[in-house]
Each structure stands twice: as structure tokens, then as C-alpha cells.
Amino acid sequence: MLPLEGITVVSLEQAVAAPFASRQLADLGARVIKVERPITGDFARGYDTTVKGMSSHFVWLNRSKESLSLDLKQPEAKEVLEKVIAKADVFIQNLAPGAIDRLGFSPEELKEKYPHLIICSISGYGSFGPYTMKKAYDLLIQCEAGAVSVTGTEDTPSKTGMSIADIAAGMYAYSGILTALLTRHKTGKGTIMEVSMLEALGEWMGYPMYYSGYGGTEPKRTGARHATIFPYGPFQAGDQKLVFLGIQNEREWVQFCQQVIRQPDLANDSRFDSNSKRVENSDTLITIIHQVFETLTSDEIIDRLEEAKIANARLNTVKDFINHPQLKARNRWKEVNSPVGPIQALIPPVTFDSIDNVMNPIPKVGEHTEEIMEELGIDAETIIKCKTSFV
């Protein structure tokens, strides 16, 4: 039996954060009913057409779900949604601020009607406060949370290449829902919970927050280097390829000097005999390291680092990652069906010894509408009558 088998999740979702949370639940066996607008569906379906004509975001976030297409401007559609929610264990929504209340499905009303229900709202800034109604996209939350200020080079603040604010909010929603399900198992009662993207990403900003708040200075933007540890980051080899390495402690620093750059006396040099001194004198130390590395290929440097048991990596492209030998050796890829045929997907990262994750097809817009309505006991005549509204 799958861990969440028998749990029904209704998700009035769009874009990234809520679909990311609900897909994690679907991976563990929950039945996830994704409520979409008619015809176009979740607007993330239209972000691009790179996956055989489908959006890369949508393919990533929406396998193993049932698509129920509802025009929630229609009173009949609201009645259908009410019936679906009444039979659900979890309700998730990440509509625009205030939209869920205007539709008549506020968390407070739902809790009063369905005491067993776990209600999760995901938003940019939370349900109250001066920023509540402010539009929130991933880049903007990265800016507001200070993440962009500590990412990039000295001259160019940068966002990350992934939607980290959305992903952080989705992960906290997922773990919060699991916590609420465990609590309900003990108490029999549901709960209202909310996750804001700002607060989720704020948790990830812990180190720079304490560094700045108590240290009095902001962490410097250092590109792929580390603001407070050295040597840590990219170094160019003689074949013009980058090798990344990280020294974590004084023992590794001694090994680096002895076995990698082969200058053992440097380990006790008063300019470099502690991490703080190495950070302070990093420009001088970079020159010394580069003088050695420019005589070696990237493979030779990595061999020396491996021998010295010092953490290292090559700079992979995304395609390099797709073809990573470790993923291949661990059989981390699986085919998932979709409206455009089979698509390769990564198996979820938590590996159980006795549980296989669900990796069912990606749905078409409204693919399961009739099936769900019939299950709810809505008669065929009503379904036909409402098709123009619902599908």
C-alpha cells in the first residue's frame, strides 16, 4: 500500500508552488484532482512548447493528477467544486490574493463545513499585512527576500536559474500537509495552514540573515565563490576548463597544500593559516593556486583532489546532468506517459526500500471531468448541459 493511498487532494492550482506541492503528494499515492479553467487550463501549460509541444514547467509539475475543468464563474461549477471538496481530505489553492474568498471558498467557511479538511493556501506574502495584495512572482520574491542581493557577481546581482521561491513554498506546503495528516490521524480534526513564498524563502536565507544582522555587513556577491570560505569555488585548469573545489577545515587545507598544489610550506604561512586569513588574502592565494593549476589539465587536478579526499566537481551543463553516470548507475529515470507520448522523468529523490513512487500520466485539460462528475452522481443530462461551461 502506498503511504497516501486513500487520501484525496483537491488543488485549485496554477503555475509552480501549489502544483509542486500536490505532485509530491501524488508521487506517494494520493489522488490529486487538479481544478483547471476550461480550454486553456493552468496557464503554466502555455509557458513554452519544448517538451514535444508541451510546457517544460507543466510536464515537471503535473504527472499523476486528474484534470477537472471548471468555469468557476458559473454557479453550477461552484456546486461541482463544493461536492468534490466535501469528499476530499486536503484542499490546496494558490489563486491571486482574495480570489478564493470571492469564489465563496474561504478557508474559514470550509473549516466550518468540513472539520476533517486540511486547507492549505499558498501566496506571495501571506493572508494579512501591507503586502498581502501585492502581486508575487518568483523573481520578485527573490528580490524582496534579499536572495538576489547575495547572488551573482560583485557588479551584477542575479536571480537563481530555478524558481527557488516557488519551490521553497511548495516544499513547505508539502511537508506541512503531511504534518497535518499525521495530526488528523491523532485528533480526527483538519486544520487551516498557509505558506507564503516570502517566508519560505526567508527560511533559506538563514545564513546571510544572521551574518548580516549580527555581523553588521552584508555577504559579498562572489559569483560561484563562497563569501566566507576560501578556497571554495571555481579555478581554471590549463585546458581552460573549470574545476570546482571546497576546503572545509584546516586538515583539508594542509592536504590541499601537500597533495594538490604540492607546496607543503604554504599550509603554515601566516597569511593563510586560518580560513578568515585565507578569505582576507584570497587574491594572493588565487594567484598561487592558478600558477599550479595552469600547468595541469582539469582531469589531473580532479585526480589530485580525489586522492587528497577534497570535495570537487566539474562544471556540468544541464545536458551533462541528464546524462550523469551516477543517475544512470542508480536507474533514476523512468518513462511517464503524456498527451504527446512517453517522456523521461526523474524518479523522486526519496528512495524507500519497499515503496515505489507513483509516476502516472500527465493529463490533458479537463481529461477527467466527466468521470469525476459521474462519480459525484451528477446525471448525464446535467453533464451535457454544462459541458460548454466546464470543458
Q: Which of 370, 390, 372 is nearest to 380 (CA)?
A: 370
Q: Are 164 and 138 spatial neighbours (Cβ–Cβ below 8 Å)?
A: yes
How many domains is the chain built from? 2
Taking only the tens place, the pLDDT of each residue in 366-378 is: 999 989 988 988 8
Q: Which of 39, 12, 24, 67 is nearest to 361 (CA)?
A: 67
Q: Which of 89, 79, 71 is nearest to 32 (CA)?
A: 89
Q: What nine digits make up the cell of 281? A: 588574502
Strand-pair category, 90-93 with 118-123: parallel
Rg of the Cα atoms in the chain: 26
Give the Å distances, CA to CA, from 377 to 241, 368, 380, 383: 64, 14, 9, 10
How large is the average pLDDT for residues 115-136? 94
Q: What is the residue-averaged pLDDT of the chain?
A: 93
CA dist., res. 81 & res. 102, Å (int): 14
Q: Tell whether 173 and 311 lie within a shared domain.
A: no
Range of the domain at 289: 232-315
Q: Which of 176, 198, 203 is nearest to 25 (CA)?
A: 176
How large is the average pLDDT for residues 265-273? 94
Taking only the tens place, the pLDDT of each residue in 127-173 is: 999 999 998 999 999 999 999 999 998 899 999 999 999 999 999 99
SS3 content of the chain, % helix, strand, coil (to 5): 45, 15, 40
For the cut 70, the answer to whether the pLDDT of residue 39 exceeds it is: yes
Q: What pLDDT score does 383 carry?
A: 66
Q: What pLDDT score does 228 carry?
A: 83
Q: Last residue of a domain, which of 283, 315, 347?
A: 315
Q: What pLDDT score does 267 carry?
A: 94
Q: What pLDDT score does 391 carry?
A: 46
Q: What nine digits make up the cell of 134? A: 501585492
Q: Last residue of a domain, which of 315, 339, 360?
A: 315
How large is the average pLDDT for residues 337-360? 92
Q: Last residue of a domain, which of 280, 315, 350?
A: 315
Give the Å distances, CA to CA, from 321 to 168, 224, 317, 326, 351: 22, 18, 6, 9, 19
Active site residue 226: yes
Q: Tell whether 37 and 84 lie within a shared domain.
A: yes
Catalytic residue selected from 116, 185, 226, 324: 226
Q: Tell whether 340 and 307 lie within a shared domain.
A: no
Q: What nine digits make up the cell of 313? A: 566537481
- For 100, the enclosing helix (H) or strand (E) is helix 99-102
pLDDT band for 356, please (50, 70, 90 cuts). Answer: confident
